[in-house]
Structure 1
Amino acid sequence: MTTSKFQHIGWNEVYKVAVRGLKVFLFYLSVLSLCRVIFIYILREYMGAGVTSGDIWLAIFGGSRLSVQTAGIMTLVVLVPYVVVSIFHSKAGKKVFKILNAVVASVTTILFFASIPYYHQFHSRFHQILFNAVNDDMYALLVSLVQEFNLPVRLLGALVVGFGLYWSLNRFLDFQLAKKLKLDGFFASRGKPGIWAERIIVISVFYLVARLVFFGGSLSWENSVNWENAGITKDQFLNEAILDDYQAVYRGYRMNGRLLSSEGLDFTTEQIRSLAAHMANRPADSDDLTVYLTRTAQGPAINRPKHIFVILSESYANWPLLDKYANLHIADEVKRIIDEDDTAYCRSFLPNGGSTVSAVTGVVTGLADSNLYLTTMPESFKAPYPTAIAPQMKQLGYETNFWYAGPATWERIEPFTLAQGFDHFYGKGNMPAEATGSVWGCDDEYLYQAVLAGVSPDKSSFNVVLNVSNHSPFNVDLASKGFDSSKVVAGLPAEEQDNFELINQLGHFWYADREIGKFIRTIKKIYPDSLIIVVGDHAERYNIDKKPSVYERFGVPFIVTGKGVTKDMLIPKAAGSHIDIGPTIIELIAPKGYKYLSIGSSLTRHNTMGVNYAVWFTHDYYGEADVLPLVPTAIDDQPGPAVDTMELQIYIDTVRALSWWVPKYGMILDQGRLEGNK
């Protein structure tokens, strides 16, 4: 029989395939487990103080159980095509087997090499933000990876190691353990019964492994392990290390799928009606959400400002403003503004999500991050959502402008903001010709220069200003801007004083802070009757503390400054998130009786809670939003009164339910629409 004809499949062939499959499986399982050990060792500084060797071994063992399934899938990827092709052409089957193993080995090492800097950035193994790149500026992203993370070097290193894995696998496949142990002679000496015994043992082991793979490291569904239940240690870092890179990517894929399809939010219209009514403190007697979301302004707290500026600052976290980090001197300008008499500051404020696009959608639409990707939804481009800020500011007599330092194509930001009611959008193409910057956009000073030149003294304007300099690839020429790195170094822990990458990142925070201060001082001089809001777009990027608290990891500042603002303008226990910016501004400036729609609430009236996709804040406590029951952790050593966790849970459900229903189904509660989309 020639190799080009259909091959007969007998027990001997099945036995050989089973042996080869077991070897491939064992090899990949060993590689994944070794990668986990190396990952833990390299990033060991992220482990909590109370971690013991027992915790580490638990993570390694639990991770190996999880990787049983991963290794099984990797084996199937190379084994199934090999078997299918070999049925028709044995030599071609062997080539396919080798090519697929080379690909799998390369992908495995590439993912591992990428996982280290990814964890440095996000304090997480791969998650759904990975898939946001599909909607991002791919060229800018690539340049950022090359400049900030040495992509060519890392990729070359990964491919070299991948080739080493491929070579090792081939040597392992050629290794005959039975011959070394002389077991083949043992079975062969017993004739056919011995040979059949050998084959039965191999097939039985193959079946056992297949069952472990199918049931996720267990022999039944009851004890299976998957990415959702793998966090079995008390340490956040070790729980992330349990996931191998493939499982982490799959987690990101699943979470992104839930975000895009609204999977995971399962509110009925009756529940939404009840939650909305509770929020509005009125009977649940209407299917029109307008009834519950309509607010009435209490009257202006300050004289009508000529111009309003909302500075949505890239990666401007709250932790550098804390006293414990004062020696870094990277937030001195904004701290000076906070200390001024015409400034109010909220220390407990949350971004809408972990990315800039979530911040944009939260500020622009007034909707919380609720498993929807608003900049990709057709509904976002039909008409402004009823809670959108721009149309309501236009009703108050303001021309509305959105200023972005980057390209208008990023996340469809220009058509999105215009569709949501802004009169004008200004992007990278509108910045000064001499502007320097990165692929993400121009340096902050040029953005503010464009805003100052574009604001008319003859028209009242509402402006959202989104900067980008405090973002990788972190290539602002800090030395030319006057950055004194020695001050930052002096404030760093000893083990970080030679960390030039971190110093450069902190220098970019210093630059963003300096430019905010300069811009605010200029605005107050030229337009003294302006109102200025400063808020970070997100904070989850880098920290001095390798194990930051949830408060330090997620919190952003919320600062209100301008003529007529007083330090006690925000309520004493104020807390909130991006969706509360719009109603806060409206309550500061709108005439008494003005009607507006909002899910969020003003921090000048009664808003004492904030929530986003992951965590919640009050003025004195924080916690994870999806841990039930809610577990409050005090921000300070001497916290205020205990949190009403039941009321907090109702608030979380209300914000999420309304922010999910309104953009997807509109303002009318109709169970039929919900059931029709299942």
Structure 2
Amino acid sequence: MFSDFFLGMQQDLKVFLLPPVLCAVFRLIFILVYRPKKSPRGEWRKWITCFRYAFWWGMDFNAYVFLIPLILVSIPGAFLPVYFAMGDGVRMGLLLVYAAALYTAFIAKMVFYAHFHDTFNQTIWLGKNADKRNFADIFFHQNHGAWLLLGYLPYLAFCWAAGNALLSLPSFSYPIVTEGVGQYAINTLVFIAAILLFYWLRYGGTLRHRLKPEWDEVPPLVKEDAVLGKASIDDLIALEMVWKRPVQEVLHHSDEESREILASVLPKNFAAYAPLEAFKRTAQGARITPPRHIFFLLGESYGQVFFDDPYRDLNLMEAGTQFRAEPHTVSINNFISSGMISQPSLVSLLLGIYDADLELNENVLFWNHTLPTSLPLQLKALGYHTSFWYGGGLNWGSLVHFIPALGFDAAYGGTDICMNDAPRTWLGVYDHLFLAEAARRIRAEGKAQPSFHFLYTTSNHGPFRIPIEEYGFDAARLNPAMAAALEKNAAKYRGLGCAWYADWALCRFIDEMREAFPDSLFIVTGDHMGGEVPLVEGVTERQELLLRERILTAFSLYHPELTPEHLEYNTIGGHMNILPTLIELIAPKGTSYYAIEKPLTERIDHIVTPYAWLTRGEIGFYRERAAQELTVTAGMLPWMFDTERFTAERDAYVELTAYYVRHPELLMKR
């Protein structure tokens, strides 16, 4: 009986060999059709890396070509001799169904790329309510649809012949190694090995799910090539990625609906075709001497909670607390991020409008165009040379394409500028090493031209495996009670240690740059609240975070002429207030600029993002329809549920982003 299973399993493996070959052929056709340079001459490493990575990533689907017949044919065939005899016919039927799916996805991708210069993306969702007759007309008369459909016949005939040829290859007979219980044990191990083989294939040649191939991990030399980068994604994988991220309903709105929704943030009777024109402002005149160097530090998971009074004695923000206490550092302790996760937060800060989870950095339109609200674009207009520095690789989030389109003059990835053997997490090079190399290069640039540097760190992120003790983390020195409480909680110990380390690395960079360039202006904030929270059992009063502690990020501003009076009106703020604040502090009077929010030099009564709202006395979270009093306390605060405020304003900001996605003709060519 088990010998039949063993023979059937080999047949399943033979059938499995064909789909990866088909995917590779489709990949090659795509490259040869759409890539300007058709030959790999001089680029063999890039091509080989593309096909290698795509092969393993494609196993996310292709591995099931082994598993499904194993379950549906080989296992029952081991018990049913009649079914075993017809097993190859069933395998061929399953193979042809899957092969047809591969071909369908391939021709759909080819057509889609011809129209949108991109593989499958969220635009697919826009076809739901489109004129299907128009689609058919385009398909048959523009994309040679009849020939593509006729292609099923020779294609499936080839698959049938190739599949039968593979199945006819000789198989190994099942060896009898021992008898009785020993043979049953070996049979069990063979069955388990077959299951492990499936998972090893599906996870891309590893049994660790965390190492499974995905878009963010596509090697940079492949991802920086627009066609090869897209070719590294098998067609079914690309469709799955779109399916997992359905487009928001906002992208279905008509222009008439948009005008109604945008009315809550636009001036009355504003009728311009480009709504961002309503957010054009005029600077009132510089409040400080314009610095030669501006540093915008965005710290991974750099939350306000670590600075709050209930956790201050933990001394986790040892360096940051000293920096905040300086007379020319101004901090706002109620500061809200523009995104709940990294990419929307970063994109919103740089582009000047809320990303609203529309993943503008992954939208090919924003790889060659931008908006007038762009942060680097507006600083370039003030005479600054702009540079972007990221601790990881610029292939993450398609930054290699998105960052130049924003108007940055230069972009650097930590994995590129640091030594190849520089220690790193799975996100990027250790913060202090990345920032040290960035500092070295910035000093080497000198003072000839005013410069703006946006630096984004990565280390304060799970799984928190940085050797924090080597860099000075000593829990007993910071707080003996905390050290004792963390003795049996290694995960929290390492998480809080990484928070301390990230803060130390940021402030060390600040000190180094202030010594080199004393007139510098520093903006310090976090991408979002995250990482390990400073709730330590037996030390802190609560074991549950307040809403403000879950959401608010840190914010500090430093310049040798800055005083609290410059921002005296405000106890609240948000990411989208940073750009106009910077302009109002340094720009000459009469300078025109774009910003969707007011500067912190003016009184702000409330902040609204696509995710949350903030007033001087309350914080609310739209996803949970809940709110709490905006109070720093060691105790617990009551919740207000089924509560939403400023929803019209929230909807308008999301609509503003969607409007420009739907109207690419309004984007600025880089």
Alignment of 1:520-599 (within 5 A): 520-545=510-535, 547-599=544-596
Offset of residue 614 of structure 1: 3.3
Specify the alignment match of 1:512 in structure 2.
502
Change (3 A) 1:90 1:360: same
- Conservation of the 8 A alpha-carbon contact between 2:422 and 2:429: yes
Residue 453 of structure 2, aligned match among 463, 468, 474: 463
Identity of aligned residues (%): 26
- Conservation of the 8 A alpha-carbon contact between 2:548 and 2:630: no
Offset of residue 579 of structure 1: 2.9
Q: Does 1:418 align with 2:404?
A: yes
Change (3 A) 1:657 1:373: same
Residue 334 of structure 1, aligned match among 292, 300, 320: 320
Change (3 A) 1:433 1:626: closer
Specify the alignment match of 2:598 in structure 1.
601
Offset of residue 381 of structure 1: 1.1
Offset of residue 540 of structure 1: 2.8
Which letter maps to 1:508?
Answer: C
CA deviation map 1:269-328 (0-9, x unaligned): 345335545434442332221431212222222111111111011121111111111222
Specify the alignment match of 1:136 in structure 2.
216
Q: Give, in whole Å, the separation in 1 of the partners of 2:453 and 2:85.
A: 64
Offset of residue 499 of structure 1: 0.8
Specify the alignment match of 2:310 in structure 1.
324
Alignment of 1:70-219 (within 5 A): 90-91=83-84, 134-137=214-217
Q: Does 1:477 align with 2:499?
A: no
Specify the alignment match of 1:21 in structure 2.
none
CA deviation map 1:599-656 (0-9, x unaligned): 233222244434445333334321112456x6454434799xx9xx887223212221
CA deviation map 1:123-160 (0-9, x unaligned): xxxxxxx99983312689xxxxxxxxxxxxxxxxxxxx
- Conservation of the 8 A alpha-carbon contact between 1:350 and 1:577: yes
CA deviation map 1:239-298 (0-9, x unaligned): xxxxxxxxxxxxxx9997575523466654345335545434442332221431212222
Alignment of 1:367-516 (within 5 A): 367-428=353-414, 429-431=416-418, 435-455=422-442, 456-487=446-477, 490-492=480-482, 496-516=486-506
Offset of residue 662 of structure 1: 2.0
Q: Does 1:279 align with 2:277?
A: no
SS at match of 1:328: coil
SS at match of 2:349: helix
Change (3 A) 1:594 1:351: same
SS at match of 2:561: coil
Q: Does 1:635 align with 2:622?
A: no
SS at match of 1:338: helix
Change (3 A) 1:627 1:292: farther
Change (3 A) 1:562 1:275: farther
Which letter maps to 1:541?
Answer: G
Offset of residue 552 of structure 1: 1.1
Q: Give, in whole Å, the separation in 1 of the partners of 2:280 and 2:244.
A: 30
Offset of residue 84 of structure 1: 14
- Conservation of the 8 A alpha-carbon contact between 1:365 and 1:387: yes
Which letter maps to 2:509?
Answer: F
Specify the alignment match of 1:615 in structure 2.
612
- Report the aligned-residue RMSD: 4.3
Specify the alignment match of 2:663 in structure 1.
665
Specify the alignment match of 2:138 in structure 1.
none
- Conservation of the 8 A alpha-carbon contact between 1:444 and 1:512: yes
Q: Give, in whole Å, the separation in 2 of the partners of 1:375 and 1:88.
A: 56
- Conservation of the 8 A alpha-carbon contact between 1:314 and 1:469: yes
Change (3 A) 1:584 1:272: farther
Change (3 A) 1:543 1:583: same
Specify the alignment match of 2:30 in structure 1.
none
Change (3 A) 1:375 1:357: same
Which letter maps to 2:620?
Answer: G
- Conservation of the 8 A alpha-carbon contact between 1:276 and 1:292: no
Offset of residue 402 of structure 1: 0.3
Change (3 A) 1:343 1:273: farther
- Conservation of the 8 A alpha-carbon contact between 2:610 and 2:650: no
Q: Give, in whole Å, the separation in 1 of the partners of 2:325 and 2:532.
A: 26
Gaps of 5+ in 1: 5-76, 112-116, 119-129, 141-252, 670-678
- Conservation of the 8 A alpha-carbon contact between 2:344 and 2:356: no
Change (3 A) 1:592 1:514: same
Q: TM-score scaled by structure 1?
A: 0.59
- Conservation of the 8 A alpha-carbon contact between 2:261 and 2:652: yes
Which letter maps to 1:442?
Answer: V
SS at match of 2:284: coil
Specify the alignment match of 2:648 in structure 1.
650
- Conservation of the 8 A alpha-carbon contact between 1:350 and 1:555: yes
Change (3 A) 1:378 1:489: same
Specify the alignment match of 1:53 in structure 2.
none
Q: Give, in whole Å, the separation in 2 of the partners of 1:306 and 1:662.
A: 34
Specify the alignment match of 1:167 in structure 2.
none
Q: Give, in whole Å, the separation in 2 of the partners of 1:433 and 1:592.
A: 47
Q: Does 1:352 align with 2:338?
A: yes
Change (3 A) 1:282 1:491: farther
CA deviation map 1:47-73 (0-9, x unaligned): xxxxxxxxxxxxxxxxxxxxxxxxxxx
SS at match of 1:438: coil
Q: Give, in whole Å, the separation in 1 of the partners of 2:504 and 2:617.
A: 29
SS at match of 1:402: strand
Offset of residue 557 of structure 1: 0.7
Gaps of 5+ in 2: 5-67, 92-187, 221-238, 536-542
SS at match of 1:623: strand
Q: Give, in whole Å, the separation in 2 of the partners of 1:256 and 1:493.
A: 46
Specify the alignment match of 1:304 in structure 2.
290
Q: Give, in whole Å, the separation in 1 of the partners of 2:339 and 2:309.
A: 25
Specify the alignment match of 1:61 in structure 2.
none
Q: Give, in whole Å, the separation in 2 of the partners of 1:556 and 1:575.
A: 11
Change (3 A) 1:259 1:398: farther
Q: Give, in whole Å, the separation in 1 of the partners of 2:582 and 2:244.
A: 33
Which letter maps to 2:600?
Answer: L
- Conservation of the 8 A alpha-carbon contact between 1:307 and 1:530: yes
Offset of residue 568 of structure 1: 3.3
- Conservation of the 8 A alpha-carbon contact between 1:347 and 1:557: yes
Change (3 A) 1:321 1:626: same
Q: Give, in whole Å, the separation in 2 of the partners of 1:570 and 1:552.
A: 23
Change (3 A) 1:288 1:356: closer
